Chain A
Amino acid sequence: MVDAGIVAESGVLERERPASEQELANRSDWIRLQAMNLIEQAGFGHYSSTFSCAEIYSVLYYHTLRLRPSDPSWTERDRFLLGKGHAGVGLWPIFADLGIIPKEWLETYGKLGSPITDHPNMRTVPVDFSSGSLGHNLSVAVGMSIAARLSGRDYRSFVVTGDGELQEGQVWEAAMAGSHYQLGNLVAIIDANGFSGGGPTSRAMNIEPLGERFSAFGWRVVEINGNEVAELLTTFDDLPDPSSDKPTCIIARTHKGSGLKMMEEAPQAWHMGLMTPEQHEAAITEIEARIS
Chain B
Amino acid sequence: MSETTVNRTMSNVFDEEAAENAPGGNVVGAYLAHLAKRRDDVVALSADLGGALAELREARPDRYIEMGIAETNSVSVAAGLAASGFIPYIVSMGPFSALKTGEQYRTDLAATNLPVRMIARLTGVSMGFFGTSHHAVEDIAITRSITNLTVVASSDNNSLIALLESTVDYPGPVYFRVSEGITAKIHPQIPTIERGRFVMVRDGSDLTIIATGVGTDAAFRAAEVLETEGVSVRLLDATYLKPLDEAAIVDAANQTGAILTVEEHNVVGGLGTAVAEVIARNGIATKLSIFGLPDEHLEVSLPNVLYEHYGLTGPGVAEQARKLLAG
B107 touches A136 (CB 8 A): yes
Q: How many of B's residues come within 8 Å of A, CB to CB?
A: 29
- Spot the interface stretch: A52-60, A89-97, A145-153, A283-291: A145-153
Q: Pick from A146, A174, A176 the residue with the most CB of B within 10 Å.
A: A146
Residues of chain B lying within 8 A (CB to CB) of residue A145: 80
Interface membership of B111, Cβ < 8 A: yes
Residues of chain B lying within 8 A (CB to CB) of residue A150: 43, 62-63, 86
Complex CA distance for A75 and B83, rounded to whole angstroms:
11
When C-beta atoms are compared, the residue in chain B nearest to A175 turns out to be B73
Residues of chain B lying within 8 A (CB to CB) of residue A122: 83, 112
Complex CA distance for A151 and B77, rounded to whole angstroms:
16
A151 touches B85 (CB 8 A): yes
Residues of chain A lying within 8 A (CB to CB) of residue B76: 136-137, 139-140, 142-143, 170, 174
A129 touches B43 (CB 8 A): no
B43 touches A140 (CB 8 A): no
When C-beta atoms are compared, the residue in chain A nearest to B45 turns out to be A143
- Spot the interface stretch: B11-19, B64-72, B127-135, B218-226: B64-72
Interface membership of B81, Cβ < 8 A: yes
Residues of chain A lying within 8 A (CB to CB) of residue B73: 139, 142, 170, 173-174, 177
Interface membership of A130, Cβ < 8 A: yes
A140 touches B77 (CB 8 A): yes
Interface membership of A188, Cβ < 8 A: no
B81 touches A130 (CB 8 A): no
B77 touches A143 (CB 8 A): yes
A123 touches B83 (CB 8 A): no
B80 touches A129 (CB 8 A): yes
B107 touches A132 (CB 8 A): yes
B108 touches A136 (CB 8 A): yes
Given A129-B83, A139-B76, A139-B77: A173 and B111 interface contact (C-beta under 8 Å): no
Residues of chain B lying within 8 A (CB to CB) of residue A170: 72-73, 76
Q: List 22 A-B contacts (CB under 8 A).
A: A123-B112, A129-B83, A130-B107, A130-B108, A132-B107, A136-B76, A139-B72, A139-B73, A140-B83, A142-B76, A143-B80, A143-B84, A143-B88, A144-B81, A144-B83, A144-B84, A145-B80, A147-B81, A147-B85, A150-B63, A173-B73, A176-B70
Chain B contact residues, majority secondary structure = helix
Interface membership of B258, Cβ < 8 A: no
Residues of chain B lying within 8 A (CB to CB) of residue A129: 79-80, 83, 112
Residues of chain B lying within 8 A (CB to CB) of residue A137: 76
Interface membership of A206, Cβ < 8 A: no
Residues of chain B lying within 8 A (CB to CB) of residue A191: none
Interface membership of B103, Cβ < 8 A: yes
Residues of chain B lying within 8 A (CB to CB) of residue A87: none
Interface membership of A128, Cβ < 8 A: yes
Which positions in B face A, CB cutoff 8 Å? Answer: 43, 62-63, 65, 67-68, 70, 72-73, 75-86, 88, 103-104, 107-108, 111-113
B72 touches A140 (CB 8 A): no
Complex CA distance for A193 and B235, rounded to whole angstroms:
61
Residues of A in contact with B, size category = 20 to 34
A123 touches B107 (CB 8 A): no
Interface membership of A101, Cβ < 8 A: no
Task: Kindly identify, within residues 17 to 63 of chain A, every residue whose CB is under 8 Å from any CB belonging to chain B.
Answer: none
Residues of chain B lying within 8 A (CB to CB) of residue A151: 84-85
Residues of chain A lying within 8 A (CB to CB) of residue B79: 129, 136, 139-140, 143
Interface membership of A114, Cβ < 8 A: no
A141 touches B86 (CB 8 A): no
Q: Pick from A122, A139, A151 the residue with the most CB of B within 10 Å.
A: A139
Interface membership of A133, Cβ < 8 A: yes
Complex CA distance for A129 and B119, rounded to whole angstroms:
23
A176 touches B68 (CB 8 A): yes
Residues of chain B lying within 8 A (CB to CB) of residue A176: 68, 70
Complex CA distance for A173 and B70, rounded to whole angstroms:
7
Given A130-B111, A136-B76, A176-B70: A143 and B104 interface contact (C-beta under 8 Å): no
Contact partner, B80, options A133, A141, A173, Cβ 8 Å: A141
